[in-house]
Structure 1
Amino acid sequence: MLQTDLWKRVVIWGLVALGIYFALPNAFYTRVEMHNDAVKAIEKQGSTAELEAQAALWPAFLPSGLVNLGLDLRGGAHLLAEVRVADVYASRLETLWPDVRDALRPERDSVGTVRLQPSNPLELRVKISKPEGMEKALEVVRGLAQPVVSLTGAGSTDLEVNGVDDELIVTLSEAERQAMDERTVRQSLEIIRRRIDAVGTREPTIQRQGTDRILIQVPGIGSTAELKAIIGTTAQLTFQPVVGRGSDKDAVAGVGNEVLPAGDEEGLFYTLEQAPVVTGEELVDAQPTFDQNGRPAVNFRFNPSGARKFGDYTANNIGSPFAIVLDGEVISAPVIQSHIAGGSGIITGNFSVEESTNLAVLLRAGALPAALDFLEERTIGPELGQDSIDAGRVASVVAGAAVLLFMFLTYGLFGVFANIALIINIAMLFGVLSMIGATLTLPGIAGIVLTVGMAVDANVLIFERIREELRTAKGPARAIELGYEKAQSAIVDANLTTIITAIILFVMGSGPVRGFAITLGLGIVTSVFTAIFVTRLMIAMWFRRTRPKTIEV
């Protein structure tokens, strides 16, 4: 009667102790947060007396995981960005021209000379001087097509090549466009995540919405302008051959060329070949440094493919200028003095130390594959966040106090046991949230408040069942045992449906809805555990010590 094996008692109290242990840092939130920030700063930039003092605010042997506060509780910046996926089509066709030219060059006897023609950004037009060789030209260029790498595009190729009179028209296939859209948004998502992580913000929310939109919420950032400065710069680095230079920005560049301004010299413009030799996508590392004159610069290193192309070009063009272009500006145009092997080099310009450091961060994170249009931007001040915390705290305290009072007045001593289990339940919930590094938002607080209300539901079922068993003249011990046994199936059924609902909300929802689903789902698990196991264990311990002849529920 009311016997529990020793190992079960150890497991139950062990889980309770672990939950309280990991929840403990949240009771000293500001102190632990300062400790965590100081430890991260020491790892990145070395130790100082001030950082050591902040790190000592919390003992190293205790856990330091916190329930992170979301945007609506801490304040910060919110952006909804749309990725210009169409820009990637034009860029892809632009880089295709050298391949088409090189493929047709050996067939000059059949197709004649090859010239790039003006066209809209979604197609590549190439004119051949011998229209009778169109079939051969089509065959050669179609040989450049590659299979589309996607599940939906299986069996398709990436290029569509047609001939009209003496012109070849190359476009991207529909399957390739869909695959590129998917790759572009995924790449943008990852690069935005890297850039935001690089500046050390706390628990940002970066999620895809729809087919081409990205939601960005970063707590602790002072304004959307600050956030846009971090993620909005494309940092597209290219290395392009120089055709000429001058002071006329409206100079006729010619087909396949473009005119770009010099970033460090006003009034100077360079005419460059549009097709780059190497792009920033082939960079594997970039670090701030100083050049031979002690001025801030950036060291860079290419991957094997980029290093090979970079080395081949420099070997074949010694004595020619070579432009380094960043976001549409020529930041440097050195003359190639010798073959540059190894795939590494240095970018010089009129940089400050801060600018060279930021440029290195952007290049390491990678170039955004397409520009972003910001459709929605919102800043939430820290004061509003604090108001939300205060309101959530009041709601939680009022809900908790009302439930505790109701349980005590209704069930007496058994209500006290349920109240202790409720407090343990909340502590365990915060412990689990801290362990998984969850972010708490206002809807999350609503989930906790709802959990407080639902936590005693299982105890109400159990206690009412014990009352019924006592009315059938069973002894106290047997009534308690039967009350737990017969109420268990109803408790599991009721809470299982709620957990299924929480899972659906988590899978189908986004942002705040997910926060609500997480706290609700975890709260149900901890409340069922405390109701079925913890209260039963407390009642059994009390019963074995007092051995009452009758009990009042």
Structure 2
Amino acid sequence: MLQISTWKRVVIWGFTALILFMAVPNLFYGRVESHNDAIKQIDAAGETPELAAAAAGWPSWMPSGLVNLGLDLRGGAYLLADVQVADVYADRMNGYWPEVRDVLREKRDTVGSIRRVDGPADELHVRIANPEAMAEAIAAVREISRPIVSIAGAGSNDIEVRGQGDVLIVSLSDAEKTATDDRTLRQSLEIVRRRVDEAGTREPSIQRQGETRIIIQVPGLGSAQELKDLIGQTAKLTFHGVVSRTSDATAEPGPRNFIAPSMNEAGTYYILESDYVVSGEDLTDAQPSFDQNGRPAVSFRFDPTGARKFGDYTAENIGSPFAIVLDNEVISAPTIQDHIAGGSGIITGNFTIEESTQLAVLLRAGALPAEMTFLQERTIGPELGQDSIEAGRVATLVAFVAVLVFMALSYGLFGLFANIALIINVGLIFGLLSIIGATLTLPGIAGIVLTIGMAVDANVLVFERIREELKTARGPSRAIELGYEKALSAILDANITTFITAAILFALGSGPVRGFAVTLGLGILTSVFCAIYITRLLIVSWFERRRPKTIEV
């Protein structure tokens, strides 16, 4: 006999109602989106009458999760960036110099005096006074090498050491370069994501492509140039001792020094010490603020290590200038008036409020480990996104209506039950997309259209099985029960294999492929749920009320 206990009915309808309730905000997309944006701005900058009015546009007790629209539906900015991973090699060599210097100084009795000399950016060249002791110097430096922490470089060391005349040469091993390239790209991905998130943009897509490239898609952004301005800078902040100031751009800086232009004074250049005192990596916070004259500035705070180094340097160099350098340009070069303890300070310059805010965002997010060059850039207008939405809507409606008509004509009353379940199924898909915060793209709409076509497959299997059971002169109750029992294995087999395909697409794909896989996978889950529980519950409820002697499927 057909029987579904009361508690099962309550659980099924309760679960369905909850998911459909979560999908409701998508019916009022504009109002809910304005409400969510206003709440974020109130949390970040405080409440204003305009923000309060926007926040009140949607009840606080209602869910506010939305299906985010992707770049092809909303419009926005697209960039393909290539990370110059080789730039990191020079920084690695500069970082090795103190260790190499200390090791060779311990061998001064045999090696003699040492001096770093110029060489290729990815190599460290050290001239020793006693070339006969080169073998001993090489052995000493090799002792500071470290094993590479990666599967590909297992058993290898991070540096290679060799001699050439009286010059000892240190370089990264090939395995370490490969590992460094991978770390550089991963770090660049994370920093780009943090910068975009700091700017408050909605649902960006930031993905790795190949060995050195990154795809960045930000829906709703006005232009690709705006996105480039946000992420294109390395934002490398350093503090250097000042050797001198000059107006000659071709002046010789001298050994272990470099020349940098002033950001605010045209024609002014500073000769600075190459070794910085502290860097942006020591920062823990940076916020836009105002200086004592009310001009826009950026306040910063160092971590304990950076605060100690900065405090020691200012205590030892009172009366001397020091330069604040951003991406090899001197923001300002104040004179140290007193010991600066506490690890906090302020960066002043000819900033606008927007510039100081953007600089604070860049410094908080951290410095890109390497420069990025942009190979492709596109700005997709919102009208193109709207065209995509309309095309997707038409395709969905056509598929939806065609399936409804087919089921009604093919299976009569049972087809109507399947149609009700299909409508609920689409609502469940959008509810789940809202809950997980998924981004809907044009391929995602294709996944929903495909799901609509596939959703009735399970019902077709059940109804055809019921027809077969009715031909054996079984009663309608027993026919319905056996129809569901015997069709269950076929339903599960078909949908599990399709779900595995969707999972593989999600794991191995990227961008649009993942969007298609997400909607297809969720559609399979909701389709099976509706076929096994919703349609069956509707049929059982009808059967209990009417108690028909015969049924037509």
Q: Could you state the TM-score of these two structures normalised by the residue count of structure 1?
A: 0.96
Corresponding position of 1:550: 550
Distance (whole Å) between structure 2 residues aligned to residue 526 and residue 184 of structure 1: 41
Q: Secondary structure in 2 aligned to 1:301?
A: strand
Code of the residue aligned with 1:441 in structure 2: it is: T
Shift of 1:257: 1.9
Q: Is the 8 A contact 1:189 1:208 kept in 2?
A: yes
Corresponding position of 1:219: 219
- Is 1:330 the counterpart of 2:330? The answer is yes
- Structural mapping, 1:16-31, within 5 Å: 16-31=16-31
Corresponding position of 1:302: 302
Q: 1:145 to 1:373 in 2, by over 3 A?
A: same
- The worse-fitting range, judged by mean Cα deviation, of 360-369 and 317-326 is 317-326
Shift of 1:174: 2.2
Q: Is the 8 A contact 1:195 1:231 kept in 2?
A: yes
- Structural mapping, 1:452-471, within 5 Å: 452-471=452-471
Code of the residue aligned with 1:542 in structure 2: it is: W
Distance (whole Å) between structure 2 residues aligned to residue 143 and residue 495 of structure 1: 59
- Structural mapping, 1:487-506, within 5 Å: 487-506=487-506
Distance (whole Å) between structure 1 residues aligned to residue 108 and residue 488 of structure 2: 84
- Is 1:379 the counterpart of 2:371? The answer is no
Alignment RMSD (CA, Å): 1.7
Corresponding position of 1:511: 511
- The worse-fitting range, judged by mean Cα deviation, of 479-488 and 206-215 is 206-215
Shift of 1:110: 3.6
Distance (whole Å) between structure 2 residues aligned to residue 269 and residue 106 of structure 1: 39
Q: Is the 8 A contact 1:189 1:206 kept in 2?
A: yes
Distance (whole Å) between structure 1 residues aligned to residue 293 and residue 44 of structure 2: 28
Code of the residue aligned with 2:219 in structure 1: it is: P
- Structural mapping, 1:119-518, within 5 Å: 119-518=119-518
Q: 1:171 to 1:329 in 2, by over 3 A?
A: same
Distance (whole Å) between structure 1 residues aligned to residue 269 and residue 152 of structure 2: 44
Q: 1:50 to 1:293 in 2, by over 3 A?
A: closer
Shift of 1:136: 4.5
Code of the residue aligned with 2:198 in structure 1: it is: A
Shift of 1:544: 0.7
5+ residue gaps, structure 2, are none
Q: Is the 8 A contact 2:148 2:158 kept in 1?
A: yes
Corresponding position of 1:83: 83
Q: Is the 8 A contact 1:262 1:270 kept in 2?
A: yes
- The worse-fitting range, judged by mean Cα deviation, of 430-439 and 252-261 is 252-261
Q: Secondary structure in 1 aligned to 2:127?
A: strand
Runs of 4+ more than 6 Å apart? none
| CA shift digits 1:271-294 (9 cap, x unpaired) | 122222222112111122233343
Distance (whole Å) between structure 2 residues aligned to residue 348 and residue 379 of structure 1: 34
Q: Secondary structure in 2 aligned to 1:72?
A: helix
Q: Secondary structure in 1 aligned to 2:351?
A: coil
Q: 1:154 to 1:312 in 2, by over 3 A?
A: farther
- The worse-fitting range, judged by mean Cα deviation, of 454-463 and 344-353 is 344-353
Q: Is the 8 A contact 2:230 2:358 kept in 1?
A: no
Distance (whole Å) between structure 1 residues aligned to residue 281 and residue 288 of structure 2: 18
Shift of 1:361: 1.1
Q: 1:395 to 1:49 in 2, by over 3 A?
A: same
Distance (whole Å) between structure 2 residues aligned to residue 257 and residue 321 of structure 1: 15
Q: Is the 8 A contact 1:288 1:297 kept in 2?
A: yes
Distance (whole Å) between structure 2 residues aligned to residue 317 and residue 135 of structure 1: 40
Corresponding position of 2:100: 100
Code of the residue aligned with 1:203 in structure 2: it is: E
Distance (whole Å) between structure 2 residues aligned to residue 29 and residue 216 of structure 1: 25
- The worse-fitting range, judged by mean Cα deviation, of 314-323 and 252-261 is 314-323
Shift of 1:415: 0.5
- The worse-fitting range, judged by mean Cα deviation, of 6-15 and 443-452 is 6-15
Code of the residue aligned with 1:300 in structure 2: it is: F
Distance (whole Å) between structure 2 residues aligned to residue 466 and residue 472 of structure 1: 10
- Is 1:66 the counterpart of 2:66? The answer is yes
Corresponding position of 2:47: 47
What is the percent sequence identity of the aligned residues?
Answer: 69
Shift of 1:343: 2.6
Distance (whole Å) between structure 2 residues aligned to residue 520 and residue 34 of structure 1: 29
Distance (whole Å) between structure 2 residues aligned to residue 551 and residue 353 of structure 1: 74
- The worse-fitting range, judged by mean Cα deviation, of 132-141 and 356-365 is 132-141
Q: Is the 8 A contact 1:97 1:275 kept in 2?
A: no
- The worse-fitting range, judged by mean Cα deviation, of 37-46 and 438-447 is 37-46
Q: Is the 8 A contact 1:462 1:484 kept in 2?
A: yes
Shift of 1:375: 1.5
Q: Secondary structure in 2 aligned to 1:226?
A: helix
Q: Is the 8 A contact 1:95 1:275 kept in 2?
A: no
Q: Is the 8 A contact 1:100 1:141 kept in 2?
A: yes
Q: Secondary structure in 2 aligned to 1:412?
A: helix
Distance (whole Å) between structure 2 residues aligned to residue 292 and residue 150 of structure 1: 51
Distance (whole Å) between structure 1 residues aligned to residue 244 and residue 101 of structure 2: 22
Code of the residue aligned with 1:336 in structure 2: it is: I
Code of the residue aligned with 1:285 in structure 2: it is: D
Q: Secondary structure in 2 aligned to 1:530?
A: helix
Q: Is the 8 A contact 2:235 2:326 kept in 1?
A: yes
Shift of 1:196: 0.6
- The worse-fitting range, judged by mean Cα deviation, of 352-361 and 18-27 is 352-361
Shift of 1:27: 1.1
| CA shift digits 1:357-392 (9 cap, x unpaired) | 211111011011101111121111100100000111
Code of the residue aligned with 2:83 in structure 1: it is: V
Code of the residue aligned with 1:332 in structure 2: it is: S
Distance (whole Å) between structure 1 residues aligned to residue 320 and residue 102 of structure 2: 21
| CA shift digits 1:152-195 (9 cap, x unpaired) | 33444322222222111111122322222122111111111111
Code of the residue aligned with 2:308 in structure 1: it is: R
Distance (whole Å) between structure 2 residues aligned to residue 140 and residue 433 of structure 1: 59
Code of the residue aligned with 2:475 in structure 1: it is: G
Q: Secondary structure in 2 aligned to 1:4?
A: coil
- Is 1:10 the counterpart of 2:6? The answer is no
Code of the residue aligned with 2:222 in structure 1: it is: G
Distance (whole Å) between structure 2 residues aligned to residue 259 and residue 76 of structure 1: 39
